[in-house]
């Protein structure tokens, strides 16, 4: 299959053991980016992706944030799908004893109820600092201006996240993607979106490239649909077993520069 465009997941796929871009990855993407668009696609917020774009010299390309909930071209939203504040309110009422942390994201806004262990860890990982604001205040503001959450992140000790996961499945499995990215993390997005839906929007309306000419890199459950749909789906070696199973190609692990190694060998 021809490789006319690249879509790459970030965490677990593109970054090294220090959660940074290696010099090898940077040099390989810079080598091809004048002729082949490279689009970052992640559950991250925009501000947690822009610095990576800059390092890779792909600032002129769109980005896909929040697993497809937000697509930006020239830092302007061209597609936005968010979770209703009513759902956030029900989740907050369930968590009235604050047994787990709830982060709320909309575009470049990230709100946390306090700078606890979970907020500090996520801020360190993504190089973005959240705004401390009580969840109920955020909900009321969003109701007033017709906004919602592009992503909700629930973080906490495993037993409390178990309870939250059960509550969410029992009440919102038809409205939300309920994705347990770690035993201590649940990521929530609107049910209608995915990395694949965002890829299809960009390919059809912006790049005018058939999906059969796209290559995508990923490692996790939320990458499965896009790896199955593109012309060449590449899983890094550290990917989940289910993700490895659907991939056309398996490259080295993310920490071993799997994306850059594939590009070096297959894109001249």
State the catalytic residues: 9
- Residues β-bridged to residue 40: 8, 63
Residues 43, 228: Cα–Cα separation, whole Å = 19
Residue 159 buriedness (CB in 10 A; 0-12 / 13-18 / 19+):
exposed
Closest CA to 226 of 206, 247, 208: 247
- Residue that the structure tokens 């940077």 belong to: 26
Residues 224, 199: Cα–Cα separation, whole Å = 13
DSSP letters along 19-71, please?
SS--HHHHHHHHHHTTTS-EEEE-SS-THHHHHHHHHHT-TTS-EEEGGGTEE
- Residue that the structure tokens 């040099």 belong to: 27
Please, what sign has the CA dihedral across residues 171, 173, 177, 180?
positive
Closest CA to 53 of 21, 78, 24, 22: 21
Whether 103 and 128 have beta carbons less than 8 Å apart is answered as no
């Amino acid at each position: 299959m021809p490789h006319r465009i690249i879509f790459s997941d970030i965490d677990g796929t593109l970054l090294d053991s220090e959660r940074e871009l290696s010099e090898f990855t940077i040099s390989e993407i810079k080598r091809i980016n004048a002729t082949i668009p490279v689009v970052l696609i992640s559950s991250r917020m925009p501000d947690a992706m822009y610095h990576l774009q800059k390092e890779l010299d792909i600032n002129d390309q769109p980005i896909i944030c929040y697993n497809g909930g937000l697509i930006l071209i020239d830092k302007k939203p061209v597609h936005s799908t968010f979770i209703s504040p009513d759902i956030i309110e029900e989740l907050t009422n369930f968590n009235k004893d604050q047994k787990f942390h709830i982060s709320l994201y909309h575009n470049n806004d990230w709100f946390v109820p306090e700078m606890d262990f979970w907020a500090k860890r996520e801020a360190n990982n993504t190089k973005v600092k959240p705004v401390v604001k009580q969840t109920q205040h955020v909900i009321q503001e969003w109701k007033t201006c017709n906004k919602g959450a592009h992503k909700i992140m629930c973080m906490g000790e495993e037993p409390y996240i178990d309870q939250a996961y059960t509550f969410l499945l029992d009440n919102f499995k038809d409205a939300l993607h309920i994705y347990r990215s770690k035993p201590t993390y649940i990521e929530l997005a609107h049910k209608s979106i995915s990395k694949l839906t965002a890829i299809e929007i960009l390919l059809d309306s912006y790049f005018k490239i058939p999906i059969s000419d796209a290559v995508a890199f990923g490692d996790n459950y939320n990458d499965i649909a896009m790896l199955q749909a593109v012309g060449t789906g590449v899983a890094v070696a550290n990917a989940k077993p289910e993700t490895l199973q659907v991939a056309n190609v398996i490259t080295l692990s993310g920490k071993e520069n799997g994306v850059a190694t594939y590009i070096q060998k297959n894109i001249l």
